[in-house]
């Protein structure tokens, strides 16, 4: 499995974890549960999600800068 495919798969799973953490945060706020760690729970997947997202965003530009051609050309 190539590196971009692996990073894309990790990015997808991190986005699912982030969504679940945000839903848990909203549910805790609606139930008025005073647990400050629930608010910080969304930050755990958010930081690697940012790193993988920036890599996936820059990947086409890095390929073009490297001089390699796309498969369609």
Rounded CA separation 18/56 (Å):
18
Per-residue model confidence as pLDDT tens digits over 16-71: 999 999 998 888 889 887 777 887 888 999 999 999 999 999 998 888 766 655 55
For 4-24, the pLDDT digits (tens) are 899 999 999 999 999 999 998
CB 30 within 8 A of CB 23: no
Give the distance, in angstroms, between the CA of residue 65 and the centroid of all CA atoms in the same chain.
24
Tell me how far apart the alpha carbons of residues 42 and 27 are, in angstroms, rounded to a whole number: 13
What's the predicted TM-score (pTM) here? 0.76
The answer to whether the beta carbons of residues 24 and 38 sit under 8 Å apart is yes
Distance CA 11, CA 64 (A): 22
């Amino acid at each position: 499995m190539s590196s971009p495919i692996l990073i894309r798969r990790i990015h997808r799973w991190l986005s699912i974890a982030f969504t679940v953490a945000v839903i848990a945060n909203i549910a805790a706020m609606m139930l008025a549960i005073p647990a400050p760690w629930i608010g910080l729970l969304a930050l755990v997947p958010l930081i690697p999600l940012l790193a993988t997202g920036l890599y996936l965003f820059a990947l086409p530009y890095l390929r073009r800068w490297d001089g390699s051609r796309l498969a369609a050309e």
